[in-house]
């Protein structure tokens, strides 16, 4: 388990990093926390010609309040997000989810840019970016552009990033303070990849659900939004029957994989249970907040 | 001084007191090896660097079963940094090693450094590349060109046992490498006439020991003297020395095998490995030091595995709940080779040997077949066979209790061998010397207030919660002597150990042993035994272990033997040295021997302040000529060997409390209690630690761990993402209750206890899970029981299919 030979370049600015990426012609790989990349190198699953280290680029790790949005630097470690007061206040659902990201040692090194670029379908941050309608800022030699999270995840470990692209910022539009939320996950052991997970953010208006977003992971090739289920519940009076219909829609929509740890059937069962629990919690929180 | 450091000083003073007070055996002395091991100052094999050391990487088979048609090494030989590339052809001068046995119906497979002509499991080493660094060696592996001719896959043990199956070892004429039968009374007739019968097809899935330190071997070679020293992360350096002497045709005087600090073994480091043979061969061939360090992928692919059995078993009882007969048919999947020295027999035969467990069952019939498949060999793994036998028997007991409407604890107490009924011979022929079966079970129940716990369960059930309580009771043979073989018919002696104790001219005490610590604290416990019997101080006694040169013959640490055997040898040798101390002091202090006492590292005249420290005494004996008459001078040394002849047993009762989430089927262990009897405790803190670790591994076996080979013979659990072991968050608080009924058959009354945790826990957890889901009419017959398997059992029972099967169909 030793990596194949590669060149190494420590970039001191974003421009140098993307230039090195461009020079590598698709064979370069950016290394940030290395928590997924290093094992893949050691298994020789990846053979980049060059590793471009962005850890020494100044000012790539931050969580900033920017009016309507929170802006997060790509080199921000999971542990910083987990312990950020700003995140806890603006996105309590993200704050909660961060505690489920692997183990503390991994959270100390792993970065948001790395996690999103790696795009594991059972990882929390890709799902959170989808739930929170993140805008992903991407830079290459051709310039800078924004990719919406919903357009970013194309398949397992596959994103809309092109060869010369580097993810340079994550922007999260703020939620209303009264927005209800919930994050539910089942894994084999604490810190393992989710067998299934559901996150909900919900706004209520009296007995009515005025707005809802449901994110899921571990139940498909990418993290997913339960779009049909969201449509069923939006504008509806919150009721057991409405929740049941939502859960049915979720179970019908997912096409989970069978692997060593869980069958597709069990994952489908789980995602429904977790959705039920998450909906109840988010509803409760939104009602309590608006009282 | 801060409060914390004041506390620290106080604590160390307390430990010092414990370490020096007269009654040292029985004290919770802090582990003397821990300051070294916990601050990164341990010296494991991989920490060792020799001048000019080369590194090995193995190209391993990616085929399950195939003929090797050709190997082209030419490109690899030319690669950057590569010094040599060896195949089996290059190793023709190395003798194959055979795990022979006097047992009938047994075939010993050849063990070689590299696969010859044929590969028999994915991960089997085929080519060894030796280069200036491991990186360069691994790069060169990719340049090897091996042509295989795939053969029929031999992966399902039941299929492999059929005459129609492809054969892994053609010369054996069968894949059934061993078979055995035990019979007492007439089980079939007793079952036919019994009032109550419970049965099942039990499946205990394959596990791997996953020691924290992977296997590592470093061979250093002195060409001028043809002397080879192998540093190995082994539990059995003595066995390795003897085996390599045969394999390499070298006398033991030129071959030294040293196990330095070893980071866990659990049985996975208790056998001879092809890589060990290869590294020794390569160092001698190349005339320089050669090192191989297993990575985790190699460890999961090629370290011995265990616990892979299918057991069809039936228990019969009379209407009052007295067990009358037990019958079992066992298939053990032993993997591709019969491992040295234990043979493929060791684990499957232990399953049928231990099935009757702690119960009086007049009629017993157990049959076992060990079947070769294209998987790594099975070897000893903490508990060896008994985790499975205990799982089966203890599940049957619970199933019987449920059928009879009896409390499972009451049913057990009724059937257990009672305190006045020892020694007792069980149906397989094992004789229990004196076991604390009822005492342990009663103690475990008292610890949890069992009636109250059952009342809590009733309340929980009424509230719709899935709450379960499970117990498991067992005994194991430990510290066994020369009259019983660790594996049936095995030709090597596993029944003795030797201690060599010396006080040198500086007055320092060195105690050398052939046993090896893999983390279990022998440096402390053996020092305690020596200190107690010598009159020394624990901290002054230097324990040397794991060195084949320390004593003429030794095997190592396995089968829960080191405390009993090395502890016994230490006692004998320490007592003799103490007698010599007294004789010498009697001259020096001009006092009658009976007026001298030796304690705390000095010898003193009773009732006076006249005393000699060991240092003063040693100087007088060795250096200050004339102080003792020349014909009375004795070296302050002793070498003693201890043989417990038959050995002893160890007993425990485990009790698990679980709660299952009825929506997600997540299984949470609430509590775990172990009441155990390991005889006289040497160090209660170390015993607790061993119990905790064993229980954690047993929880792994019950809920998480399973090595999975797919139909093509590929290991699909080849990383720790897929082979999951419990972490601290999955292990509940564990209470340990010590019974301390001293063994009547061993010196000091010690019993071995290192394996027990892993034996009881799987069964206790399985019973607790089964108890939690009993209202659903589900039985647990397969371990590990994962949420997925539980989901399937529940779905199947909802659909009125077979509720006992957790397989995906």
**Which value does ipTM take for this structure?**
0.95
At residue B426, the 3 state secondary structure works out as coil
Place of tokens 């045709």: B249
Report A:47-76 residues touching B (Cβ under 8 A): none
Residues in chain A with CB shorter than 8 Å from the CB of B727 are 189-191
Under CATH, to which class is A63-173 assigned? alpha beta
Q: Taking Cα atoms as reference points, which of B575, B593, B584, B592 lies closest to residue B613?
A: B584
Q: How far apart are CA B465 and CA B453, in angstroms?
A: 14
- For residue A276, the chain B residue with the least C-alpha distance is B663
Put simply, the answer to whether B666 touches A186 (Cβ < 8 Å) is yes
Q: Taking Cα atoms as reference points, which of A2, A12, A107 lies closest to residue A53?
A: A12
Q: What are phi and psi of A13, to 5 degrees?
A: -155, 165
Put simply, the answer to whether A192 touches B727 (Cβ < 8 Å) is no
Q: What is the pLDDT of residue B82?
A: 98
A270 touches chain B (CB under 8 A): yes
Q: What is the pLDDT of residue B468?
A: 98
Separation in Å, CA of A178 to nearest CA in chain B: 29
Q: How far apart are CA B400 and CA A119, in angstroms?
A: 51
B728 touches chain A (CB under 8 A): no
Residues 6+ apart with CB under 8 A from A135: A69, A146, A147, A148, A149, A170, A171, A172, A173
* DSSP state at residue B704: I
Q: What is the DSSP string of B15-35?
A: HHHHHHSS--TTS-PPPTTHH
Residues in chain B with CB shorter than 8 Å from the CB of A279 are none
Q: Which of A114-128, B12-26, B112-126, B633-647 has the lowest mean pLDDT?
A: B12-26
Q: What is the pLDDT of residue B526?
A: 98
**What are the strands of the beta sheet with B637-642, ordered from one edge?**
B541-544, B509-513, B497-503, B637-642
Under CATH, to which class is B309-483+645-798 assigned? alpha beta
* DSSP state at residue B520: S
Q: What is the pLDDT of residue B5?
A: 47
Query: Distances in Å between the alpha carbon of B755 and those of B213, B478, B566, B597, B654?
Result: 19, 9, 17, 38, 13
- Kind and range of the H or E element at B530? helix B522-534
B493 touches chain A (CB under 8 A): no
The answer to whether the beta carbons of residues A55 and A75 sit under 8 Å apart is yes
Mutation site for A-interface testing, chosen from B132, B788, B793 by largest number of A Cβ within 10 Å: B788
Encoded tokens for B659: 């709660």
Mutation site for A-interface testing, chosen from B664, B720, B729 by largest number of A Cβ within 10 Å: B664
B359 touches chain A (CB under 8 A): no
Residues in chain B with CB shorter than 8 Å from the CB of A278 are none
Count of C-beta atoms within a 10 Å radius of residue B241: 25
Contacts A–B by Cβ distance under 8 A = 63
Q: What is the pLDDT of residue B164?
A: 96
Fold classification of B497-642 is: Aldehyde Oxidoreductase; domain 4 (3.30.365)
Bond prior to B341 in cis (omega within 30° of 0): yes
Put simply, the answer to whether B791 touches A273 (Cβ < 8 Å) is no
At residue B597, the 3 state secondary structure works out as strand
Q: How confident is the model at residue B800 (pLDDT cuts 50, 70, 90)?
A: low
Put simply, the answer to whether A186 touches B139 (Cβ < 8 Å) is no
Put simply, the answer to whether A266 touches B792 (Cβ < 8 Å) is yes
- B447-462 residues labelled b (16+ CB within 10 A) or e (exposed): bbebeeeeeebeeeee
Q: How far apart are CA B382 and CA B265, in angstroms?
A: 9
Mutation site for B-interface testing, chosen from A1, A122, A257, A268 by largest number of B Cβ within 10 Å: A1
Residues in chain B with CB shorter than 8 Å from the CB of A5 are 135, 139
- For residue A277, the chain B residue with the least C-alpha distance is B663
3-state helix, strand, coil in chain A (%, to 5): 35, 25, 35
Separation in Å, CA of A189 to nearest CA in chain B: 7
B62 touches chain A (CB under 8 A): no
A191 touches chain B (CB under 8 A): yes
Report B:81-140 residues touching A (Cβ under 8 A): 134-135, 138-139
Task: Evaluate if residue A252 carries a pLDDT over 90.
Answer: yes
- For residue B297, the chain A residue with the least C-alpha distance is A1
A8 touches chain B (CB under 8 A): no
Residues in chain B with CB shorter than 8 Å from the CB of A1 are 138, 295-297
Put simply, the answer to whether B727 touches A190 (Cβ < 8 Å) is yes
- For residue A270, the chain B residue with the least C-alpha distance is B664
The answer to whether the beta carbons of residues B275 and B303 sit under 8 Å apart is no
Q: Determine how β-strand A166-173 pairs with β-strand A69-72.
A: antiparallel
CATH of A180-290, one of 3.30.390.50, 3.10.350.10, 3.40.50.300, 3.20.20.70: 3.30.390.50
Length of chain A in terms of residues written:
291
Structure confidence by residue, pLDDT tens digits, B369-418: 999 999 999 999 999 999 999 999 999 999 999 999 999 999 999 999 99
Separation in Å, CA of B692 to nearest CA in chain A: 19
Mean pLDDT rounded to a whole number for chain A: 96
Percent of chain B whose predicted confidence (pLDDT) is above 90: 92
Separation in Å, CA of A187 to nearest CA in chain B: 9
A2 touches chain B (CB under 8 A): yes
Count of C-beta atoms within a 10 Å radius of residue A86: 14
Task: Evaluate if residue B361 carries a pLDDT over 90.
Answer: yes
The reply to whether domains B46-151+210-302 and B309-483+645-798 share a CATH topology is: no
Q: For residue B724, give the nearest of A188, A265, A266 by CB distance.
A: A188
Residues 6+ apart with CB under 8 A from B265: B209, B211, B233, B234, B235, B518, B519, B557
B722 touches chain A (CB under 8 A): yes
Q: What is the DSSP string of A182-204?
A: EEEEEESSTTSPEEEEEEEEEEE
Q: How confident is the model at residue B809 (pLDDT cuts 50, 70, 90)?
A: very low
The answer to whether the beta carbons of residues B454 and B442 sit under 8 Å apart is no
Q: What is the pLDDT of residue B802?
A: 53
Q: How far apart are CA B192 and CA B350, in angstroms?
A: 26
Report B:769-788 residues touching A (Cβ under 8 A): 786-788
Query: Distances in Å between the alpha carbon of B684 and those of B264, B515, B650, B738?
Result: 20, 21, 15, 8
Contacts 24+ apart (CB under 8 A), B241-245: B241/B548, B242/B492, B243/B97, B243/B272, B243/B340, B243/B341, B244/B276, B244/B277, B244/B280
* DSSP state at residue B594: G
Structure confidence by residue, pLDDT tens digits, B632-675: 999 999 999 999 999 999 999 999 999 999 999 999 999 999 99
Put simply, the answer to whether A190 touches B139 (Cβ < 8 Å) is no
Burial class (CB in 10 A: 0-12, 13-18, 19+), B597: middle
3-state helix, strand, coil in chain B (%, to 5): 35, 25, 40
CATH number, domain B46-151+210-302: 3.90.1170.50
A45 touches chain B (CB under 8 A): no
Q: What is the pLDDT of residue B12?
A: 53
Under CATH, to which class is A7-53 assigned? alpha beta
Distance of CA B707 to the CA centre of its chain: 18
Task: Evaluate if residue B6 carries a pLDDT over 80.
Answer: no
Q: How far apart are CA B653 and CA B764, in angstroms?
A: 9
- B104-126 residues labelled b (16+ CB within 10 A) or e (exposed): eebbbbebbbbbbebbbbbbbbb
Report, as an integer, the average pLDDT of A200-210. Answer: 96
Place of tokens 């160890």: B650
Place of tokens 């802006």: A71
Residues in chain A with CB shorter than 8 Å from the CB of B724 are 188-189, 192, 261
**What are the strands of the beta sheet with B66-72, ordered from one edge?**
B118-119, B66-72, B145-150
Separation in Å, CA of B470 to nearest CA in chain A: 22
Report, as an integer, the average pLDDT of B121-128. Answer: 98
For residue B673, what are the β-bridge partners? B655, B735
Percent of chain B whose predicted confidence (pLDDT) is above 70: 96
Q: Taking Cα atoms as reference points, which of B563, B543, B516, B554 lies closest to residue B264?
A: B516
Q: What is the pLDDT of residue B497?
A: 95
- For residue A43, the chain B residue with the least C-alpha distance is B297
A104 touches chain B (CB under 8 A): no
Mutation site for A-interface testing, chosen from B787, B793, B799, B806 by largest number of A Cβ within 10 Å: B787
Put simply, the answer to whether A1 touches B724 (Cβ < 8 Å) is no
Structure confidence by residue, pLDDT tens digits, B280-328: 999 999 999 999 999 999 999 999 999 999 999 999 999 999 999 999 9
Q: What is the pLDDT of residue B487?
A: 75
Q: How far apart are CA B344 and CA B108, in angstroms?
A: 8
Q: How far apart are CA B656 and CA B670, in angstroms?
A: 8
Q: For residue B724, give the nearest of A2, A3, A189 by CB distance.
A: A189
At residue B246, the 3 state secondary structure works out as helix
Task: Evaluate if residue B808 carries a pLDDT over 50.
Answer: no
Put simply, the answer to whether B727 touches A189 (Cβ < 8 Å) is yes
Mean pLDDT rounded to a whole number for chain B: 94
Rg value, chain B, Cα: 28
Burial class (CB in 10 A: 0-12, 13-18, 19+), B17: exposed
Q: Where are the domains of chain B?
A: 3-45, 46-151+210-302, 309-483+645-798, 497-642
Residues in chain A with CB shorter than 8 Å from the CB of B46 are none
- Maximum separation of any 2 CA atoms in chain A, in Å: 62
Q: What is the pLDDT of residue A18?
A: 97
Bond prior to B423 in cis (omega within 30° of 0): yes
Residues in chain A with CB shorter than 8 Å from the CB of B294 are none
């Amino acid at each position: 388990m030793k990596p194949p030979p590669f060149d190494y370049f420590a970039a001191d600015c974003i421009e140098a990093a993307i230039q090195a990426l461009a020079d590598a012609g698709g064979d370069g790989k950016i290394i940030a926390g290395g928590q997924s990349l290093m094992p893949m190198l050691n298994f020789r699953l990846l053979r980049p010609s060059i590793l471009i280290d962005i850890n020494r680029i100044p000012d790539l790790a931050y969580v900033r309040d920017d009016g309507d949005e929170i802006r997060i630097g790509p080199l921000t470690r999971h542990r910083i997000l987990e312990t950020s007061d700003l995140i806890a206040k603006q996105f309590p659902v993200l704050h909660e989810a961060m505690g489920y990201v692997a183990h503390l040692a991994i959270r100390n090194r792993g970065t948001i840019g790395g996690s999103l670029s790696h795009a594991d379908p059972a990882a929390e941050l890709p799902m959170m970016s989808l739930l929170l309608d993140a805008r992903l800022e991407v830079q290459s030699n051709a310039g800078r552009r924004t990719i919406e999270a919903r357009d970013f995840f194309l398949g397992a470990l596959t994103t809309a990033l092109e060869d010369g692209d580097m993810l340079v910022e994550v922007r999260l539009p703020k939620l209303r303070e009264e927005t209800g939320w919930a994050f539910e996950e089942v894994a084999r052991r604490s810190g393992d990849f989710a067998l299934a997970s559901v996150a909900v953010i919900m706004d209520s208006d009296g007995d009515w659900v005025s707005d809802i977003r449901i994110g899921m992971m571990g139940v498909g090739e990418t993290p997913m939004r339960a779009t049909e289920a969201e449509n069923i519940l939006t504008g509806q009076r919150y009721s057991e029957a409405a929740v049941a219909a939502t859960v049915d829609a979720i179970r019908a929509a997912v096409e989970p994989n069978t692997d060593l740890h869980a069958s597709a059937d069990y994952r489908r069962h789980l995602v429904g249970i977790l959705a039920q629990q998450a909906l109840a919690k988010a509803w409760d929180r939104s009602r309590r907040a608006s009282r | 001084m801060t409060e914390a450091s004041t506390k620290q000083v106080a604590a160390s003073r307390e430990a010092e007191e414990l370490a020096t007070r007269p009654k040292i055996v029985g004290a919770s002395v802090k582990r003397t090896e821990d300051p070294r091991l916990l601050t990164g100052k341990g010296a494991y094999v991989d920490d060792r660097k020799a001048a000019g050391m080369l590194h090995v990487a193995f190209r391993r088979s990616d085929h399950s079963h195939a003929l090797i048609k050709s190997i082209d090494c030419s490109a690899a030989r030319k690669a950057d940094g590569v010094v040599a590339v060896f195949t089996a052809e290059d190793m023709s001068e190395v003798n194959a090693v055979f795990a022979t046995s006097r047992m009938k119906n047994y075939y010993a497979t050849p063990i070689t450094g590299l696969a010859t002509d044929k590969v028999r499991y994915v991960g089997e080493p085929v080519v060894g590349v030796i280069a200036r660094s491991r990186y360069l060696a691994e790069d060169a592996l990719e340049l090897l060109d091996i042509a295989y001719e795939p053969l029929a896959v031999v992966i399902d043990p039941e299929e492999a046992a059929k005459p129609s199956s492809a054969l892994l070892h053609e010369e054996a004429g069968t894949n059934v490498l061993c078979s055995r039968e035990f019979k007492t009374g007439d089980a079939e007739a007793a079952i036919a006439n019994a009032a109550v019968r419970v049965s099942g097809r039990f499946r205990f899935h394959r596990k791997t020991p996953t020691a924290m330190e992977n296997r590592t071997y470093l061979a250093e070679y002195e060409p001028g003297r043809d002397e080879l020293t192998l540093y190995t992360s082994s539990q059995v350096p003595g066995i390795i020395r003897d085996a390599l002497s045969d394999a390499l045709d070298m006398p033991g005087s030129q071959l030294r095998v040293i196990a330095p600090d070893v980071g866990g073994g659990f049985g996975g480091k208790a056998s001879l490995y092809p890589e060990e043979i290869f590294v020794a061969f390569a160092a001698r061939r190349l005339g320089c030091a050669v090192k191989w360090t297993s990575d985790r992928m190699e460890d999961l692919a090629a370290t011995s595995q265990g616990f892979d059995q299918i057991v069809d078993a039936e228990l019969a009882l009379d209407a009052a709940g007295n067990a009358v007969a037990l019958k079992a048919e066992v298939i053990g999947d032993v993997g591709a080779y019969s491992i040295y020295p234990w043979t493929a027999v060791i684990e499957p035969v232990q399953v049928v040997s231990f099935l009757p467990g702690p119960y009086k069952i007049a009629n017993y019939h157990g049959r076992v077949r060990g079947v070769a498949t294209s998987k790594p060999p099975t070897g000893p793994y903490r508990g060896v066979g008994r985790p499975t036998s205990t799982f089966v028997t203890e599940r049957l007991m619970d199933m019987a209790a449920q059928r009879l409407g009896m409390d499972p604890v009451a049913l057990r107490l009724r059937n257990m061998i009672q305190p006045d009924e020892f020694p007792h011979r069980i149906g397989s022929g094992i004789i229990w010397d004196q076991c604390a079966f009822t005492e342990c079970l009663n103690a475990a129940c008292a610890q949890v207030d069992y009636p109250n716990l059952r009342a809590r369960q009733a309340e929980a059930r009424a509230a719709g919660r899935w709450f379960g309580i499970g117990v498991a009771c067992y005994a194991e043979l430990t510290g066994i002597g020369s009259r019983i073989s660790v594996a049936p018919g095995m030709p090597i002696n596993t029944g003795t150990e030797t201690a060599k104790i010396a006080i040198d001219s500086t007055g320092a005490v060195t105690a050398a042993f052939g046993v090896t610590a893999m983390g279990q604290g022998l440096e402390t416990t053996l020092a305690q035994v020596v200190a107690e019997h010598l009159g020394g101080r624990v901290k002054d006694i230097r324990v040397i272990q794991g060195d084949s040169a320390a004593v003429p013959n030794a095997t190592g640490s396995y089968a829960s033997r080191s405390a009993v055997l090395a502890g016994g040898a230490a006692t004998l040798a320490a007592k003799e040295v103490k007698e010599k101390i007294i004789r010498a002091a009697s001259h020096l202090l001009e006092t009658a021997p009976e007026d001298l006492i030796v304690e705390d590292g000095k010898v003193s005249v009773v009732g006076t302040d006249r005393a000699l420290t060991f240092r003063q005494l040693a100087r007088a004996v060795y250096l200050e000529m004339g102080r003792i008459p020349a014909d009375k001078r004795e070296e302050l040394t002793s070498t003693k060997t201890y043989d417990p002849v038959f050995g002893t047993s160890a007993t425990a009762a485990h009790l698990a409390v679980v709660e299952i989430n009825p929506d997600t089927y997540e299984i949470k262990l609430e509590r775990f209690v172990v009441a155990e009897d390991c005889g006289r405790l040497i160090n209660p803190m170390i015993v607790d630690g061993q119990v905790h670790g064993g229980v954690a591994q047993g929880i792994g076996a019950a809920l998480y761990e399973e090595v999975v080979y797919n139909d093509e013979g590929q290991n699909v659990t080849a990383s720790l993402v897929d082979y999951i072991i419990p972490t601290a968050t999955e292990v509940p608080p564990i209470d340990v209750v010590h019974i301390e009924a001293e063994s009547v058959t061993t010196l000091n009354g010690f019993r071995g206890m290192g394996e027990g945790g892993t034996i009881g826990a799987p069964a206790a957890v399985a019973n607790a899970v089964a108890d939690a889901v009993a209202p659903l009419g589900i039985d647990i017959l397969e371990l590990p029981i994962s949420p997925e398997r539980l989901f399937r059992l529940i779905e199947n029972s909802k659909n009125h299919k077979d509720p006992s099967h957790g397989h995906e169909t």
